[in-house]
Amino acid sequence: MSEPIKLIELEHRIFNAPIRNDVMHTCVIWRRACLRQGNKCMKSKAEKRGSGRKIRPQKGTGKARVGQIRAPHRRGGGKSHPPKPRDWSYPLNSKIQAFGLRSALTAKRKQNELFIIQNEDLKLNTPTLKELENIKLRNNWKSVLFIDTEAPERNLSQTLMRAGKKPTVNFYKADQFLTVYDVLAHKAVVMTERAALYYNEILKRGL
């Protein structure tokens, strides 16, 4: 990164908070559970097509006893206790989420992986992946998360968003739902000055 240009005042309790691994772990597990689709579905014996009658008599044929053709142990039969669509998400106290986010931002700052840039610097000359890759290579970033504010006149640079359509680059608006998982999943976190000031205010009182 280039040399510092100016100083801005950041809230000590937000960007220099206690690093609680247990709280961050709780937030990551919660977020991953919320991201689960939960749409796995298989048919039970009752839902399979086919007759429910006994295939052949119980006795007299000299063959093994069998039941209906839809039984789970038969080929093409229904699944025993099959998985059904479900919602894996569960609520997590907003104060825990805010505490985890403060810990994550502090951890990134202490590891020199949190960068605050001027508002107008979040743009590229040309919307090309090559230019964005050069920036990543120059700063030794394996993956990067860019954060800016939501206001229409201050949106994330369109050239930057058009250039960064790949898994190792993500974009968030500050008043979107940023989580601990999003922060820790990227090697570097780059936010604009206005985004940093936004978190300065919003994390004082929780989320």
* C-alpha span between 183 and 87 (Å, rounded): 24
Which pLDDT score, from 0 to 100, does residue 145 have? 87
Residue 42 · residue 60 · CB < 8 Å: no
When the pLDDT of each residue in the chain is averaged and rounded to a whole number, the result is 83
User: Picking from 47-56, 88-97, 122-131, 135-144, which range would have the lowest pLDDT averaged per residue?
Assistant: 122-131
Residue 38 burial class via C-beta count within 10 angstroms: exposed 0-12, middle 13-18, buried 19 and up:
middle
Radius of gyration of the chain (CA): 27
Report the CATH superfamily, name and number, of domain 12-17+90-202: Ribosomal protein L4/L1 (3.40.1370.10)
The pLDDT tens digits of the residues spanning 149-205 come to 764 445 556 666 666 666 677 777 777 788 999 999 999 998 888 888 888 888 876
pLDDT of residue 143 exceeding 80:
yes
Q: How confident is the model at residue 147 (pLDDT cuts 50, 70, 90)?
A: confident
CA-based torsion, 97, 99, 101, 107: positive or negative: negative
The pLDDT tens digits of the residues spanning 22-54 come to 999 999 999 999 999 999 999 999 999 988 899
Q: How confident is the model at residue 141 (pLDDT cuts 50, 70, 90)?
A: confident
* C-alpha span between 161 and 3 (Å, rounded): 25
> Which pTM value belongs to this model?
0.77
Which pLDDT score, from 0 to 100, does residue 25 have? 96
User: Picking from 4-18, 28-42, 86-100, which range would have the lowest pLDDT averaged per residue?
Assistant: 4-18
Which pLDDT score, from 0 to 100, does residue 15 have? 87
Q: What is the mean pLDDT of residues 93-116?
A: 92
Percent pLDDT > 70 in the chain is 82
Q: Where are the domains of the chain?
A: 12-17+90-202, 37-87
CA-based torsion, 67, 70, 72, 76: positive or negative: positive
Q: What is the mean pLDDT of residues 109-122?
A: 81
Q: What is the mean pLDDT of residues 86-103?
A: 93
